[in-house]
Amino acid sequence: MVISKSMEALVAGSSTIRKLFEEGLQLAAEVGAENVYDFSLGNPASPVPAKVTESIKDILAENPDSYVHGYMKNAGFDEVRANVAANLNKRFDMGYDAGDIVMTVGAAGAMNCIFRALIETDDEVIAFAPYFGEYRNYAANYGGKLVVVPPDMDNFDLNINELDALINPKTKCIIINNPNNPSGRIFPEETIKQLGAIIEKAEKRIGHPIYVLADEPYRELVYDNEVVPYIPSIIKNSIYIYSFSKTLSLPGERIGYMALSKKMDCYDEMINAMAVANRCLGYVNAPSLFQLVVSRCLDEGVDLDFYDRNRKLLYDKLTSLGFKVVKPQGAFYLLVKDPMEDEEEFVSLAKKHHIILVSTKSFGCPGYIRMAYCVDYEMIKRSIPAFEALAKECGL
Ligand code: PLP
**Domain check: are 70 and 215 in the same one?**
yes
Whether residue 213 is predicted with pLDDT greater than 70 in this model: the reply is yes
Measured at the alpha carbon of residue 74, what is the angle toward residues 73 and 75, in degrees to the nearest 5? 90
Q: What is the mean pLDDT of residues 21-30?
A: 87
HEC readout, 22-76:
HHHHHHHHHHCHHHCEECCCCCCCCCCCHHHHHHHHHHHHHCCHHHHCCCCCCCC
Q: What is the mean pLDDT of residues 215-235?
A: 98
The answer to whether 129 touches 363, Cβ cutoff 8 Å, is yes
**Domain check: are 209 and 327 in the same one?**
no
**Minimum CA distance residue for ligand 1 atom 5:** 181
Whether residue 25 is predicted with pLDDT greater than 90 in this model: the reply is no
Q: Where are the beta strands (DSSP E) in the chain?
A: 37-38, 101-104, 124-128, 145-149, 171-177, 211-215, 238-243, 256-260, 325-326, 333-337, 355-356, 358-359, 368-372
pLDDT of residue 386: 98
Q: What is the mean pLDDT of residues 164-175?
A: 98
**Domain check: are 287 and 199 in the same one?**
yes
Q: Which of 296, 328, 350 is the last residue of a domain?
A: 296
pLDDT of residue 12: 81
**Domain check: are 287 and 313 in the same one?**
no
**Domain check: are 269 and 386 in the same one?**
no
pLDDT of 371-384, one tens digit each? 999 999 999 999 99
Whether residue 100 is predicted with pLDDT greater than 80 in this model: the reply is yes
Cα(62) to centroid of ligand 1, in Å?
32
**Domain check: are 34 and 159 in the same one?**
no
pLDDT of residue 11: 84
Q: What residues does ligand 1 touch, defined as CB less than 6 Å away?
A: 42, 106-108, 132, 177, 181, 215, 217, 243, 245, 251, 256
What's the CA gap between 21 and 342, in Å, rounded?
Answer: 20
% of the chain surpassing 90 pLDDT:
93
Q: Which of 273, 296, 319 is the last residue of a domain?
A: 296
pLDDT of residue 321: 98
Q: Which of 262, 277, 296 is the last residue of a domain?
A: 296
**Mean of per-residue pLDDT scores for the chain:** 96
pLDDT of residue 15: 67
3-state secondary structure of 263: coil
Cα(215) to centroid of ligand 1, in Å?
8
Beta bridge partners, 213, equal 175, 239
pLDDT of 186-209, one tens digit each? 999 999 999 999 999 999 999 999
**Domain check: are 69 and 82 in the same one?**
yes
Residue 42 alpha carbon, nearest atom of ligand 1: 8
**Domain check: are 74 and 218 in the same one?**
yes
The CATH number that applies at residue 186 is 3.40.640.10
**Domain check: are 282 and 356 in the same one?**
no
**Domain check: are 203 and 286 in the same one?**
yes
The CATH number that applies at residue 349 is 3.90.1150.10
Cα(244) to centroid of ligand 1, in Å?
10
**Domain check: are 32 and 158 in the same one?**
no
Cα(322) to centroid of ligand 1, in Å?
31
pLDDT of 130-159, one tens digit each? 999 999 999 999 999 999 999 999 999 999
pLDDT of 285-337, one tens digit each? 999 999 999 999 999 999 999 999 999 999 999 999 999 999 999 999 999 99
Residue 256 alpha carbon, nearest atom of ligand 1: 15
Question: What's the total number of domains in the chain?
Answer: 2
- Domain of residue 131, residue span: 50-296
Beta bridge partners, 330, equal 222
Cα(395) to centroid of ligand 1, in Å?
36
Q: What is the mean pLDDT of residues 79-105?
A: 98
pLDDT of residue 4: 93
**Domain check: are 338 and 278 in the same one?**
no
pLDDT of residue 78: 98
